[in-house]
Structure 1
Amino acid sequence: MTPNITLLLRDAADGNRQAADQVVSLLYADLQRLARSRLRRAGDVTLLDTTSLVHESYLRLLKGEGTEFADRRHFLAYAAQVMRHIVIDLLRSRQADRHGGGAWHVTLNTDIGDSVAQHEDEVLRVHEALDELASSDARVAQVVQMRYFGGLSEAEIAECLGVTERTVQRDWQKARLFLSLALK
């Protein structure tokens, strides 16, 4: 019999480390799917593999003690957000290194370094635009997080946010318009 994820999430929020471990083991395949999706969107700009991203996310989730999740979907949406921040932190660190962090970066083909740097800049621009969107309309930014980074369907997002599917569709349209203008 599979334990109730919602009950385990509540126990984990109360500080039960064993419950947190059990949640991750039960949802490991979902976390792997999220990580694969996140890394695919980031392209070749990170040195992380799927397993590393899942494990780093787990460590950050453990640090967020007191964080409560209503159910599996909320947990996975939050995990997707954590994964996004891990990738962004890694990119920022690499850019800081490239701009005088003391490390020497040598490539044999300068075209490769330029294309990776352009892709890193693009990923960071999307992140910054999403942060700007969150400051003006938090729910619309949540829709982007859950749909684009978390892979949730419109119905799942609507359930998580307590709105209709049509509202989620309108929010997605607003977000796409905002992001396309912000990224020009």
Structure 2
Amino acid sequence: MDLRTANMEKNWQLLAGGDRQGLYACFDLFYDDLFRLGVSLYRDVDLVQDAINELFLELWKIRERLGEVRNIQQYVITIYKRVLYKSRHVRQEFASLDECIEMPQSSYEEALIAIQTDERRKALLQQALQQLSERQRQMVQMRYYEGRGFREIAETTGLTERTVYNTLHNALQALRKGMERVE
């Protein structure tokens, strides 16, 4: 038995026993293979990622029965295909024919490039955020991560709404410049 299989069986038993760390470890073990399979079948990255999450939610719900599984990998793939198929049909039911726009299908490589580009942008944004002053970061956090309004930010910080607005405006300009400079 190879190391990957032994690791899979160990974490599967943890999952079956109700251990969340086993669930997370199984997620890490299976994610790449499931992603490749899903993209090769449907070429819809969002659908594939949602189906993987749905699969592991399903596994968590039925964890008491997982100890009986003999071929773990085949079991996971079978459930995953069912979840993918069901998810795809649910999406199609909600999209009316009039609203459905034919989008060009991207290849697996294009999907990976898009994901890597998104990760790069996130990293660039984190770098740009570090260049802001502490006050600017605090206000960006409150406004865009916590969803607070200008009045609420003003009350929390003891500043006027106009000062909050100006500070956020300057912070956004600095973020745009930081993102443009690096890209």
| Same fold? TM cut 0.5 | no
The normalised TM-score by structure 1 is: 0.42
Greater relative contact order, per chain length (Cα 8 Å cut-off, separation 6+): 1
The normalised TM-score by structure 2 is: 0.42
Larger radius of gyration: 2
